[in-house]
Structure 1
Amino acid sequence: MSNRINYEKVRPDNIKVMFEMEKLLASNAIDKELQELIKIRVSQINGCAFCLNMHTDDARKIGVDEKRIYLLNAWDDTDIYSDKEKAALELAESVTLISERKVPDELYDKVRTYYSEEEYTDLIFIIGQINTWNRISISMGNKA
């Protein structure tokens, strides 16, 4: 990996906190496959090649079907994802594009038909975490 600043060396405590959050999020109730799909979709929206490369590899390692990876940018135009997964992906898009879309009550209600309060909260933290990683990676010049 090449980057503008060796931020892991400059601010090791900051990265340590990010990795601790990753450990915490890995232990939540959200399906691991869905977590990777969310990370890929958010990274597509943000244009983070480094994270796209990492999370498509991670998805393949846990057995995500290639079609589910390839069709993510058109998730709402296919039946390959369940309604529950589609709700989470729609939430991921709205949170990632929050200045444009907000998170309307209708979307919140839709997501809550599939996910408990705890799971909704987990989804928000997963989405927030990958958005943070995307912003770190892009602004620091990480290359895929």
Structure 2
Amino acid sequence: MEPRLDYHKANPEAYKAMLNFEIAVNKLGLEESLLELIRLRASQINGCAYCVDLHAADARKAGETERRLYSLSVWREAPFYTPRERAALAWTEALTDLSHTHAPDADYKTLLAEFSPAESVAVTMAINAINSWNRIGVGYRKVPAAD
């Protein structure tokens, strides 16, 4: 796959706005490991190779195990995730595939059972941020660096 353009250089102000959104999300009080699970799962669904590569590495740095990372795409069947993580992952999938899921009430209720209202907004903002980054990455064909 060939990159389309360098969006950093093409519109630095737009890129800066996304970075500021990401910085704000990182300050909302969610655990780093949970944020990385959210980012990685959304990136898998959206098919953003760059973001999958980046967030798998960041998740490892945040203490994630290989076993949990390898199982993330089948988290519903794997016993390795906490109820809090499961609620965030279900909400991630619901909002990432919004045209098919329409954010089901069951997923929302599960989210609120594990997160305070403020935390639920933080989870939603994290999902929004990574979905935006995925659309930039996929749209402009950003690829991971080859080793």
Confirm or deny a common fold (TM above 0.5). yes
Cα RMSD (Å):
1.0
Distance 1:88 1:30 in 2: 11
Q: Which runs of 4+ in 1 moved over 2 A?
A: none
State how many pairs are aligned. Answer: 143
Q: CA deviation at 1:27?
A: 1.2
What whole-Å deviation, never above 9, does each CA across 1:75-97 have from its counterpart, x for those lacking one? Answer: 00011001111011000000000
Residue number in structure 2 paired with 1:98: 98
One-letter amino acid matched to 1:26: N
What whole-Å deviation, never above 9, does each CA across 1:26-50 have from its counterpart, x for those lacking one? Answer: 1112111010011111111011100
Distance 1:141 1:104 in 2: 31
Matches within 5 A, 1:1-144: 3-144=3-144
Distance 1:13 1:7 in 2: 10
One-letter amino acid matched to 1:42: A
One-letter amino acid matched to 2:11: R
One-letter amino acid matched to 2:132: T
TM-score, normalising length from structure 1? 0.95
Distance 2:63 2:117 in 1: 28
21-30 or 115-124, larger mean C-alpha shift: 21-30
In structure 2, the gaps of 5 or more residues are none
What whole-Å deviation, never above 9, does each CA across 1:104-137 have from its counterpart, x for those lacking one? Answer: 2222111101101111101111001101101100
In structure 1, the gaps of 5 or more residues are none
**Identity percentage of aligned residues:** 36
Q: CA deviation at 1:3?
A: 2.6
